[in-house]
Amino acid sequence: KGFAKKASIALLRFAFETLKLKTVYLEVFADNHKAVKLYETLGFEKKHEKLFNNTKKIYVMEITGEIND
């Protein structure tokens, strides 16, 4: 338990500290409530929504420069 959070934090640290990225984006199915909550906890914000195969809602999320760990 907690593997997704630890892995996400490690990936974001690598993205910001090693690769020097300013922003990281992701897409997640809107009905994947656990993932959406995890990403929001880490500091991601929902930027917009779109449809996958014209049927399933996806959130596009972003985080800029700082991780909430």
pLDDT confidence of residue 68: 77
Above 70 in pLDDT, residue 1?
A: no
Burial class (CB in 10 A: 0-12, 13-18, 19+), 1: exposed
Alpha carbons within 13 angstroms on the beta-carbon side of residue 42 total: 27
**What's this model's pTM, rounded to 2 decimal places?**
0.88
| Backbone phi, psi, residue 54, to 5° | 60, 20
pLDDT confidence of residue 16: 95
Sign of dihedral through CA atoms 48, 52, 57, 66? negative
pLDDT tens digit sequence for 9-19: 999 999 999 99
Average pLDDT value over all residues in the chain: 94
Give the SS3 label for residue 8. Answer: helix
